[in-house]
Structure formats: structure tokens, C-alpha cells
């Protein structure tokens, strides 16, 4: 019995010793923490703080990994993109299908009537004082133009100048320190590089004052098209597969540096939808036209050469000892004309213009129709004279009145 009593007493003394040591250790740990930091935190508190800090680190890393050149470019240019709502006057022609005959058309001519219609498009600000670029067809015959910014503000815009043939228009809104898009260099555009189209497709801009961004690549450069049925001329166009839809006209095509390289203008479509083949007017062409629009409000295409030409026939070719009848012959040169200043002579045979072969008079006419030529442009003529090939530079001048 005494033996068991001693065992129990020893066990109790050992338990008291262990509990005392644990209490001493806890108090000593809290004193050290108070001396170091002035605060006392439990082990649970330390775990929560560490988890929060670790979570913030992971969140920052994830956000950084999502940021790239495209998102940066969109963030940079988006404030300069605007939605454009236009009231236009359009002409409609009516005719009676029962009188579709030349005789009856003379007796009962078609009737033309005008109607106000709503149109929409896109644009981008190019200066802090509110100069905006868009397509001419967006604001053609406009009676009212309302520009919506990304901050929701709306401005009434005025047309500073517009050029129907190049399809470029310059607008002005009243504002100061407005966000604007930096202009790039279309000569440095690389086929295959990123292309970002920013605009107002289907009027979605008006829903939340935010441009739509679509991303693709530059599919090709220097795409030329013959004069359209409406008379517009599109040359050196940038092709892209970034989706362009109705309402994107006039919007910016941007590279991954956030620079405007073109203006979305036309698409190939079936049934009104995008097929991934769109075209933008190159920014270098835009800058040339805009400079002239700012100065005069229009583009001067009333040029002349002072040259009279005709086709070569076999008799003329034989008399001049020419091997073929390809080319056109100069038959007259007006005094003090651009042609005379360029050094042309009667009987010169023109075989090429700007390195494009000239086979006959129709080739010359086609060239002039499909080139966006303006006063002060320089043309290089390849001329055959006295058995030698010469190159003459002719600067176009305004036609005398």
C-alpha cells in the first residue's frame, strides 16, 4: 500500500513540474516578443498574416503575367477613340418599272427625293485641342455630327475639311487637353505584326462609352484597288484580319506600340458580316491629306500636264524606226506648262509612268484614273528619244483658269 502511495505521489509531482515548465516557457516567449515588437501575436495570427501576404504576391504576379503589349496598347489609345453619330441627307431616285424604256424615260423622268438618315462610325483624336480623323463616307452630306468620348461626354463636331476621293475627313470639337492617339509610320509596318482595331462597331460605343478592341495581324501591305464605283481611290492599303464591322469605319488600326498605323475603312463581306479581310488607309497617306485639309479645307486635284498624246500606229513606228507600237507619242506641248518645264519634246515616245508600262492611250488614262494624283505630285516618265531611253520628272501644277 505504501508502495502505491509513493508511485502516485511521484506521478503528481512530475505532472506539476511539467505544467510549470510549459507556463514558464510561454511567459518567456511573450516577453521576448513584446521586447522585440511591442505587440503580442498568437501562432494563429502569424499564420493569417503570412497567408495574406503570400496571396497578395501571387495576385500581383498573376496580374503582371496578364499584362502584355496588346493590353498596354489598348489602354494607351482607347481614351482617344470616339464614337460618331451622324444625321445625313441622302438622295434617292425613283423610277417606274413599267416605263423602263428610253422613250418613256424621256417622257417620265425619274424623281429624286432627299431624306434624313442616321449613320454611325468611329474616329480618333489626333491633337489635344480636339482634331479628329474619320472616313469621309461617315460624315458625307452630314447635317449634324455628335462625337462621344470614353468619359461619356458628347460634343458637336464641325468638318474642317473632307476629301471624297481618299475617303478622309478632318473634324474639330471644342476641347482642351484631350487625350490623343500618337501617329506611327506606315512605311515601317511589318506583315505578320500585331494589329489592333479600335472603334464603334454596330454602335456598341453608346452602351458604355467604351471602344471595342479586336486583335489580329497585318496580313499584307500596299494593297491597291482600282477606282470604286463611287469614285473613291484606295491605294497602299494595309490588310488585316482584325475583325472590322459596320461602325468601325474611321476607327484606328494600332500596332503593339500603341501607335496608329492606319484607319479602318473597307472590308470584304458576304451578307454584311466580317470575313476577316479588312483594309485600312495607311497613316502616312492620312498625314499628307490631313495637312492639306488643315491648310485649305480640301485637296486640289485640278492639275494639268500640258501634254497632248496619241497612240502609236505602224506608220509612225516605221517612220521613227521603232520595233513596236507600244507606247504613246507626244504630239503637242503647251507653253510654260509642266510638260515643257520637265523637258518634253514633240515626238517623244512615253513607254512608262512611275515604272508602270504604257502600251497605249487607254493605259495612260487608266493610270491617271486610279492614282490619287494631286497638285505638286511628281511623276517620272520613261521616254524614248533619238534611240535612247530617258527619264523626265514632271511636277503637276494647278490648271490655269
Would you kindly state where each structural domain of the chain is located, as residue ranges?
Answer: 75-296, 303-398
Smallest CA-to-CA distance from 351 within 318, 369, 371, 327 is with 327
pLDDT > 70: percent of the chain: 75
**Greater pLDDT, 4 or 253:** 253
Predicted confidence at residue 43, as pLDDT, reads 45
Q: Region 164-191: what's the mean pLDDT?
A: 95
Q: Which of 78, 186, 249, 337 is catalytic?
A: 249
Q: Which of 167, 241, 284, 348 is catalytic?
A: 167
CA distance 353 to 392: 10
Predicted confidence at residue 116, as pLDDT, reads 57
Answer yes or no: 249 catalytic.
Answer: yes
Predicted confidence at residue 58, as pLDDT, reads 55
Predicted confidence at residue 70, as pLDDT, reads 95
Predicted confidence at residue 229, as pLDDT, reads 84
The architecture of the domain spanning 303-398 is Roll (2.30)
Predicted confidence at residue 4, as pLDDT, reads 60
Is the pLDDT at 34 greater than 50? The verdict is no
Is the pLDDT at 183 greater than 80? The verdict is yes
Predicted confidence at residue 337, as pLDDT, reads 96
Is the pLDDT at 316 greater than 60? The verdict is yes
- The mean of the pLDDT values for the chain is 84
Predicted confidence at residue 207, as pLDDT, reads 74
3-state secondary structure the chain: CHHHHHHHHHHHHHHHHHHHHHHHHHHHHHHHHHHHHCCCCCHHHHHHHHHHHHHHHHHHHHHHHHCCHHHHHHHHHHHHEEEEEEEEEEEEEECCHHHCCHHHHHHCCCEEEEEEEEEEEEEEECCCCCEEEECHHHHCCEEEEEEECCCCCEEECEEEEEECCCCEEEEECCCCCCCCCCECCHHHCCCCCEEEEEECHHHCHHHHCCCEEEEEEEEEEEECCCCCCCCCCCCCEEEECCCCCCCCCCCEEECCCCCEEEEEEEEEEECCEEEEEEEEEEHHHHHHHHHHHHHHCCCCCCEECCEEEEECCHHHHHHCCCCCCCCEEEEEECCCCHHHHHCCCCCCEEEEECCEECCCHHHHHHHHHHCCCCCCCEEEEEEEECCEEEEEEEECEECCC
- The pTM for the full model equals 0.74
Q: Region 265-292: what's the mean pLDDT?
A: 85
Is the pLDDT at 37 greater than 50? The verdict is no
Is the pLDDT at 59 greater than 70? The verdict is no
Is the pLDDT at 152 greater than 60? The verdict is yes
Is the pLDDT at 148 greater than 80? The verdict is yes
pLDDT band at 119 (very low <50, low <70, confident <90, very high): confident
Predicted confidence at residue 341, as pLDDT, reads 96
Q: Which of 78, 122, 137, 186 is catalytic?
A: 137
End-to-end Cα distance, the chain: 140
Give the lowest-confidence range in 42-46, 48-52, 224-228, 233-237: 42-46
Is the pLDDT at 252 greater than 90? The verdict is yes
pLDDT digits (tens, 9 = 90+) for 348-389: 999 999 999 999 999 999 898 888 899 999 999 999 998 899
Is domain 75-296 annotated with CATH 1.10.760.10? no
Amino acid at each position: 500500500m505504501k508502495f502505491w502511495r509513493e508511485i502516485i505521489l511521484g506521478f503528481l509531482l512530475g505532472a506539476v513540474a511539467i505544467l510549470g515548465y510549459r507556463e514558464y516557457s510561454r511567459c518567456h516567449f511573450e516577453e521576448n516578443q513584446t521586447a522585440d515588437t511591442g505587440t503580442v501575436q498568437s501562432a494563429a495570427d502569424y499564420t493569417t498574416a503570412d497567408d495574406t501576404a503570400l496571396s497578395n504576391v501571387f495576385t500581383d504576379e498573376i496580374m503582371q503575367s496578364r499584362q502584355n503589349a496588346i493590353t498596354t496598347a489598348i489602354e494607351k489609345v482607347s481614351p482617344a477613340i470616339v464614337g460618331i453619330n451622324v444625321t445625313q441627307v441622302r438622295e434617292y431616285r425613283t423610277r417606274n418599272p413599267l416605263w423602263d424604256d428610253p422613250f418613256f424615260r424621256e417622257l417620265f423622268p425619274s424623281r429624286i427625293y432627299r431624306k434624313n438618315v442616321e449613320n454611325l462610325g468611329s474616329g480618333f483624336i489626333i491633337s489635344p485641342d480636339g482634331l479628329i480623323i474619320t472616313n469621309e463616307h461617315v460624315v458625307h452630306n452630314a447635317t449634324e455630327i455628335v462625337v462621344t468620348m470614353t468619359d461619356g461626354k458628347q460634343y458637336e463636331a464641325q468638318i474642317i475639311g473632307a476629301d471624297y476621293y481618299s475617303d478622309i475627313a478632318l473634324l474639330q470639337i471644342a476641347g482642351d487637353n484631350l487625350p490623343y492617339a500618337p501617329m506611327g509610320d506606315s512605311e515601317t509596318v511589318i506583315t505578320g505584326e500585331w494589329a489592333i482595331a479600335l472603334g464603334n462597331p454596330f454602335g456598341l460605343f453608346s452602351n458604355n462609352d467604351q471602344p471595342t478592341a479586336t486583335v489580329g495581324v497585318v496580313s499584307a501591305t500596299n494593297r491597291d484597288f482600282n477606282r470604286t464605283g463611287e469614285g473613291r481611290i484606295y491605294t497602299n492599303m494595309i490588310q488585316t484580319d482584325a475583325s472590322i464591322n459596320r461602325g468601325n469605319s474611321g476607327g484606328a488600326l494600332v500596332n503593339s506600340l500603341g501607335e496608329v498605323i492606319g484607319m479602318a475603312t473597307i472590308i470584304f463581306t458576304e451578307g454584311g458580316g466580317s470575313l476577316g479581310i479588312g483594309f485600312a488607309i495607311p497613316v502616312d497617306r492620312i498625314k499628307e491629306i490631313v495637312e492639306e485639309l488643315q491648310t485649305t479645307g480640301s485637296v486640289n486635284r485640278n492639275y494639268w500636264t500640258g501634254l497632248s498624246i496619241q497612240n502609236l500606229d505602224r506608220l509612225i513606228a516605221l517612220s521613227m524606226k521603232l520595233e513596236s507600237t507600244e507606247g504613246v507619242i507626244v504630239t503637242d506641248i503647251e507653253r510654260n506648262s509642266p510638260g515643257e518645264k520637265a523637258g518634253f519634246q514633240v515626238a517623244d515616245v512615253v513607254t512608262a509612268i512611275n515604272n508602270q508600262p504604257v502600251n497605249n492611250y487607254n493605259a495612260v488614262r487608266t493610270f491617271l484614273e486610279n492614282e490619287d494624283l494631286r497638285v505638286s505630285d511628281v511623276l517620272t516618265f520613261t521616254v524614248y528619244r533619238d534611240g535612247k531611253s530617258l527619264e523626265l520628272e514632271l511636277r503637276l501644277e494647278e490648271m490655269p483658269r
